Amino acid sequence: MAPPKKKWVKSVTASSNAMDIPLGLFTRSSKEIAEGLQQAVLESNRTKGTKFQSAMSMLNFYINRAGKKLREQDKNRLEKAKQELRRLFNKPLKNNS
């Protein structure tokens, strides 16, 4: 059995039928990330589930793929982006305590 390809995420994101994410979006501020994801899902006809679910899924996908390589400050910024996304879509905010 052949070993799995190391760059499968790159090929999945390049060939997937998911929404188009602006280049470098996840390196921006939490507010800009949330706004960018919201804009991307609202402009896309290729999402599954609700627009909120699709946007949150893309954010979680990025966080999960970064895994242990994600710096603490970046993880905090991305977690704040989740809260911003909930706010933009009028969803209840989660308490982080």
Low-confidence ranges of the chain (pLDDT < 50): 97
Model pTM score? 0.78
Q: At CB < 8 A and 24+ separation, what contacts does 86-89 make?
A: 86/52, 87/34, 88/34, 88/35, 88/38, 89/38, 89/51, 89/52, 89/55
pLDDT at 49: 85
